[in-house]
Structure 1
Amino acid sequence: MRRSPLATLLLAALVLPACLPRTTIRPPPPPSLTSVANALFESVENEGTMASVFLVDAATGTPLYARHEHVRLLPASTMKVVSTSAALAAFGPDFRFHTPVRLEGSQLGNLFLGDLVVEASGDPSLGSWRFPETAMACEQVAEALQARGIRQWLGAVRVSNADEGPYGLFGPGWAWDDAAYAYSAAPTPFVFRENVVDLSLERPEGQDCNAQPRRPIVVRYSPSFNELPTVVYLEPNAQKAGLGCVRERGSGRMRCVWRSTAEQCPQKASMRVAIDEPRALFTSCVEDSLAARGIWRVPVPPHLAAVPEVATSEPLLDFTSPSLAELVKVTNKESLNLYAERLGLRFTRERTGTESYPALREAMAQELARRGIPTRLLRPVDGSGLSRYNVATARGLAEVIYTSLKEPYASALLESLPVAGVDGTLASSAVSNGTRGLIRAKTGTLSGQKAYVGIAERPNDPEHPRVVFALMLGNIDDQPALTASQVFEQFAEAMVSLPLR
C-alpha cells in the first residue's frame, strides 16, 4: 500500500524526535561577586561613567577583583585616609596637640599690664564644640586669670608662630566659590572654633516672602565677632528653599542668596560660614568669658604702640587636644576638611621641618614610597581632597588601607571609618540587614565624582574573611539610571555575601 506524501511527512514528524539526542537545559550559574560586579559596572560605563575598582585579601594582599584599577581619577575626601594614616604613622594614636598660653607683662594688684600670648600649635580642635575638653577654652582662660586675682587687663591677645607663609590660607586647586562655606575653612596654623561662625538671617515680623521687605533683613553672627559686611538677596518662587553665601573676592564681603518657594516662606535661616581671622574670634570669645566673671580688658590706647615693656613671661595654662585617635575618628567619620588639612600639614612639619603644600607633596610621596606605593598610583597635593589637583587610582587607595593594616595604629584607623548603615557619612546607606555593620569605608564626593575605600567582612568565606576595596566613579551623569550610592550599595552586598567566582 502506497502512502501519500502527507502521510509520510506526518510519520516522519512522529518518529524523528525519538531519534534525536536529548538536550539538557542547564540552569544559569549562581551569581558571584565577579559576575554581579561586571554587570553592575558595565551598566554604568554604558552611560559614560568611568568605574575603577580594586579588591584584595586583607591579610595577604592577593588581588581578588580588578577593573580599570590603574585609571587615575579624583579621590575627593578619600584623600583623608592618606593624611590621617600618615599622621597616625608619624605620631601614634595617643599623640595630643599642646597649645601653651602665657602672660607677658606685669601684675599690679588686680591689674595686669601686658599681653596674653597663645603659641599656635596647629590643633584643629581648639575651641571646637565637638569635644567637652575643647569647647571650654575661653572659660579656662578666664578662670586662670581670675585665680591670679586679675580683675582688669590692659593689653592684647597675641598669637605666635601663626604666620601662614608664602602659600596663603587655602590649598592648591581649591574652588574659590567654596571659600565662604564651613567645609572650606582655611587651615591656618592657629585654629579657633574650627574657623567658623554661625550666620543667621531673620525677616521682619509678618514679612511676606514675595513682597519687598519694609525693613532690612536682620543679620547676626555668633559667637560675637567683628561682623563681616553682608549683603542679602531674596529669591522668591525658587525651586528649592535654602540659604547660600559666597565671599566676594577682593572685597571680603559676604554675599548671600536666601531662596523661598511658593510653599515655603521661612522666617529664619542659618548656616555656618568660614572666617579668615581666628585670632579676632578667639579675642572676642575670651573677652566675653572675662566679662561674665567681672574681668574687663582695656584695649591698648591708639597713641601707645604697646603696653610697657615685658617684666615677666609666665605660663598661664596649656590647651591639650583630644588624642590623635579621637581626632582621626571625627575627621574620617564626618569628613572634616580642616582637621585633615591640619593633620596633613603637622605630619609635613614632622617630616620636612616646614608647613607648606609643596612640602606636603614631598612628605606624602616619601610616606607612600615607604609603603611601596608609587606616585603613578597616588599623588596627593592636599590633606582633605578638596583640591582638584589630587590624582588617585583604585589600586593606590586600596594599598593605603592594606599597608595600614600592617601598622601598629591599624585599629585606630579602621575605627575611624564610617560604617555602612550605622554612622558617619554612610549612616543613611541603604544596605540590607545582612550587610549593615560589615562595611567600613571612607567616602569622597566632588562634582561628578564619587569614591569609596575601606574594608568588607565576609563571614561566609573562611578563605577570604576580610577584603580591602576601593571603588571610584568618575564623570557621573546628573540623572543616572543608578546613583553612585546605589552602585556602592549593590557592590557592598556582593562583597559581603557572594562567592568570589
Structure 2
Amino acid sequence: MRRSPFATLLLAALVLPACLPRSARPSSPSLTSVADALLAGVEGEGALSGAIVLDAATGFPLYARHEHVRLLPASTMKVVSTSAALSALGPDFRFHTPVWLQGSVAGNLFLGELVLEASGDPSLGSWRFPETAQACEQLADALVARGIRQWFGPLRITHADEGPYGGLYGPGWAWDDAAYAFGAAPTRFAFRENVAELSVKRAEGQDCAAPVPQPLEVRYSPPLDTSTTAIFLDPAASRAGLGCTRERGTGRTRCVWRSTPGQCPRRASTRVSVEAPEALFTACLEDALTARGVWRVATPFLPPTATPTPSSPRELLLDFVSPPLSELVKVTNKESLNLYAERLGLRFTLERMGTESYTALREAFTQELHRRGIAPRLLRPVDGSGLSRYNVASARGLAEVLATSLREPYANALLESLPVAGVDGTLAGSAGAAIKGLVRAKTGTLSGQKAYVGIAERPHDTEYPRVVFALMLGNMDEQPALTTAQIFERFAEALVAAPLK
C-alpha cells in the first residue's frame, strides 16, 4: 500500500517519543497539532476538510480549521431534523393513527369501510418496537373483540397523499437509491418502514450461465405482486449479490443477480423499498384476519341497501400509538434511518408551517436555525435525512446545532440518540480503546464524503470536561494514506486526551 510523506511524518511523530529517554521526551502532542497534521495530510492529497471544537458549556471555540468550508453533511443532517422535532414536539410526543369502522354492524357481519387515518408515523408496523410490530394482529383482534367474523367492504387509508409531492422522493436524491431500503419514500402513510424482502431462487441443477430469461422463483415477504419485478443474471461478476433499481415513472423494479465465475449460488435476497405501503398493510392484515377465521370480501359492490353512505355512523375501533419521540429519535440517529428522519423533519414542518412539503421544510428549518443564531451560510438544509446532494453544511454550522441543543430541555434525549464509540450504532465498530464510551457522534457518509458531529468527554480536564465537535471530509481518495475511520479515531483520541493547545 502506498504511503504519503504525511503518513510517514505522522508515524514518526507518534513513535519517536517512545524511543527517547524520559527526560528528553517532548510533551504530549496537542489537539491542535494532531488535528492540523491529520487535516493537512488529507488536503495534501486533494481532499477538502473542515473541523471545529467548541466548549460544550459556553460554545467558545477551542480549535478550528476551515470551519466555514461548506461540504455535504450526509446523514449528520439527522441531527438537524431530530433536534428540530424534539424542540417543537417534545421527547414525550407520540403519533396517533386512528382506525374507524364506517358502516353498520349486524350480528357478526360488518358492512362498510375500515378507515385508517395516516398520521405520518414512521414506526407503524415496524419490527423495531414491540408496540408496533404486531399492528396487523392488533387490528384483527380488535375486529374479533367487536364480534365481527365477516366483513364486506374496502380498506381505506385517508390523508396518505398529503405528504411531500404526493409521496415521491426528496429533492436531490440519487435515482439509483430509490429501490433500496435506505431510499424508501417518506410517504405520509408508512408501514413496515416501506420495505419488503425480495428473494430469488434457482431450480435445482440450473446453470448460472443459462440464457435469460430462465425460470426463477421470485418472492416478496410480505407477499406482493411480482409481475413488475424483472430479474437479470450476470454470471461473470467480480462480486456476488442482488442489486436493484427502479424505473422512473413505471414503478417497475429491475434487479441483477450477480455471481462470480465458478460459483453458482442457489438463492439471494435483498431488502427493497415499496412505493405502495398500502399493499404491504393490506397483505399483512389479510394474513392476520385469515389466522383468526375472519372472512373478508373486499369488493365495494355491496347490495344497495347495505352500501355505507357518508352519513353512516363512524366508530373508533383502534388507535395505533407510536413509541415516544425520544425513542424514535434514538433509532433514527443510532441506526441512521432515512425514512424516520424525513418523517420527523416533515412532522416538525407540519407543526411550524401547517403543511408538509420540502419547500415548507426548508423554510421551517431556516427559521429554526435563525432562532438558534445560526447563519444560513453555515448550513443549508434541503431534506431531513441527508440523502439529498443539495444539502450544504459547514463544520461550524453542524457543531452549533448540537451546541445550542445542549442548552434546551430536550438535550438528554438528543445526546442519548447519538451512537457511542465502540458501543453501538454506526460507531459500534470504532476500534480505538481510548475513545470507547467517551465519544458520541452522528456519522454521515456519501460517495467520497464523510462527516461527524458529536460530543467528547475529557475526564482529565477540569476546565473543559466536555467538548462539541464537527469533522467534515470531502473529495476523499478511494485509497487514501489514512482511511476516514482512521482519521476520525485519531482526531477523537486527541479530543479525549490531548492538551487543547
- With normalisation by structure 1, the TM-score equals 0.92
Which residue does 1:499 correspond to in 2? 499
Q: Which has the larger radius of gyration?
A: 1
SS in 1 for 2:71: coil
* 1:123-142 equivalences in 2 (<5 Å): 123-142=121-140
C-alpha contact 1:77 1:442 (8 A) present in aligned 2: yes
1:304 and 1:330 map into 2 onto residues whose CA distance is 48
Shift of 1:263: 5.4
* 1:71-470 equivalences in 2 (<5 Å): 71-164=69-162, 167-168=165-166, 169-212=168-211, 215-227=214-226, 229-262=228-261, 264-300=263-299, 307-309=307-309, 310-431=311-432, 433-470=433-470
Q: Which amino acid aligns with 1:186?
A: A
Moved more, 273-282 or 94-103: 273-282
SS in 1 for 2:100: strand
Shift of 1:212: 4.3
1:303 and 1:293 map into 2 onto residues whose CA distance is 23
Moved more, 233-242 or 69-78: 233-242
SS in 1 for 2:139: helix
Q: Which amino acid aligns with 2:475?
A: N
1:343 and 1:304 map into 2 onto residues whose CA distance is 43
C-alpha contact 1:204 1:213 (8 A) present in aligned 2: no
2:213 and 2:448 map into 1 onto residues whose CA distance is 42
- How has the CA–CA distance of structure 1 residues 213 and 361 changed in structure 2, closer, same or farther, with 3 Å as cutoff? closer
1:272 and 1:60 map into 2 onto residues whose CA distance is 45
Shift of 1:285: 1.2
2:424 and 2:262 map into 1 onto residues whose CA distance is 32
Shift of 1:233: 1.2
C-alpha contact 2:163 2:188 (8 A) present in aligned 1: no
SS in 2 for 1:209: coil
SS in 2 for 1:56: strand
Q: Which amino acid aligns with 1:109?
A: G
2:213 and 2:123 map into 1 onto residues whose CA distance is 42
Which residue does 2:479 correspond to in 1? 479
Shift of 1:211: 4.0
SS in 2 for 1:243: strand
1:86 and 1:214 map into 2 onto residues whose CA distance is 50
Which residue does 2:6 correspond to in 1? none
Q: Which amino acid aligns with 1:123?
A: D
Shift of 1:250: 2.6
Once the two structures are superposed, residues 312-367 of structure 1 have per-residue CA deviations (whole angstroms, 9 ceiling, x without a partner) of 10000100000100000000000000000000000000001000000001110111
C-alpha contact 2:152 2:298 (8 A) present in aligned 1: yes
C-alpha contact 1:228 1:254 (8 A) present in aligned 2: no
C-alpha contact 2:153 2:302 (8 A) present in aligned 1: no
C-alpha contact 2:201 2:216 (8 A) present in aligned 1: yes
Shift of 1:130: 0.6
2:456 and 2:37 map into 1 onto residues whose CA distance is 20
- How has the CA–CA distance of structure 1 residues 194 and 209 changed in structure 2, closer, same or farther, with 3 Å as cutoff? same
Q: Which amino acid aligns with 1:114?
A: G
2:37 and 2:303 map into 1 onto residues whose CA distance is 75
- How has the CA–CA distance of structure 1 residues 166 and 70 changed in structure 2, closer, same or farther, with 3 Å as cutoff? closer
- How has the CA–CA distance of structure 1 residues 474 and 438 changed in structure 2, closer, same or farther, with 3 Å as cutoff? same
Shift of 1:28: 4.7
Moved more, 218-227 or 377-386: 218-227
Once the two structures are superposed, residues 32-81 of structure 1 have per-residue CA deviations (whole angstroms, 9 ceiling, x without a partner) of 11111111111111111111001011111111110000001000000000
Q: Which amino acid aligns with 2:260?
A: T
SS in 1 for 2:173: coil
2:139 and 2:443 map into 1 onto residues whose CA distance is 38
Q: Which amino acid aligns with 1:287?
A: E
Shift of 1:266: 2.0
Shift of 1:251: 2.4
Moved more, 304-313 or 361-370: 304-313
Which residue does 2:60 correspond to in 1? 62
Which residue does 1:14 correspond to in 2? none
Shift of 1:301: 5.0
Shift of 1:280: 2.0
Once the two structures are superposed, residues 457-492 of structure 1 have per-residue CA deviations (whole angstroms, 9 ceiling, x without a partner) of 111111111100000001111111111111111111
- How has the CA–CA distance of structure 1 residues 454 and 228 changed in structure 2, closer, same or farther, with 3 Å as cutoff? farther
C-alpha contact 2:212 2:233 (8 A) present in aligned 1: no
- With normalisation by structure 2, the TM-score equals 0.92
Shift of 1:282: 1.1
Moved more, 300-309 or 138-147: 300-309
C-alpha contact 1:207 1:213 (8 A) present in aligned 2: no
Where does the alignment leave 5 or more consecutive residues of structure 2 unmatched? 1-22
C-alpha contact 1:77 1:386 (8 A) present in aligned 2: yes
Shift of 1:207: 2.5
C-alpha contact 2:218 2:226 (8 A) present in aligned 1: no
Which residue does 2:9 correspond to in 1? none
Q: Which amino acid aligns with 1:161?
A: H
* 1:13-92 equivalences in 2 (<5 Å): 28-92=26-90
SS in 2 for 1:434: helix
- Runs of 4+ in structure 1 off by over 6 angstroms are 303-306
- How has the CA–CA distance of structure 1 residues 278 and 307 changed in structure 2, closer, same or farther, with 3 Å as cutoff? farther
Shift of 1:31: 1.1
1:102 and 1:303 map into 2 onto residues whose CA distance is 19
- How has the CA–CA distance of structure 1 residues 205 and 441 changed in structure 2, closer, same or farther, with 3 Å as cutoff? same
2:24 and 2:320 map into 1 onto residues whose CA distance is 71
1:38 and 1:101 map into 2 onto residues whose CA distance is 58
SS in 1 for 2:287: helix
Shift of 1:303: 8.8
SS in 1 for 2:59: coil
C-alpha contact 2:178 2:245 (8 A) present in aligned 1: yes
Once the two structures are superposed, residues 389-418 of structure 1 have per-residue CA deviations (whole angstroms, 9 ceiling, x without a partner) of 111000000001100000111111001000
Where does the alignment leave 5 or more consecutive residues of structure 1 unmatched? 1-24
C-alpha contact 1:204 1:215 (8 A) present in aligned 2: no
Q: Which amino acid aligns with 2:275?
A: D
C-alpha contact 2:127 2:192 (8 A) present in aligned 1: yes
CA-based RMSD of the aligned residues comes to: 1.8
1:192 and 1:403 map into 2 onto residues whose CA distance is 34
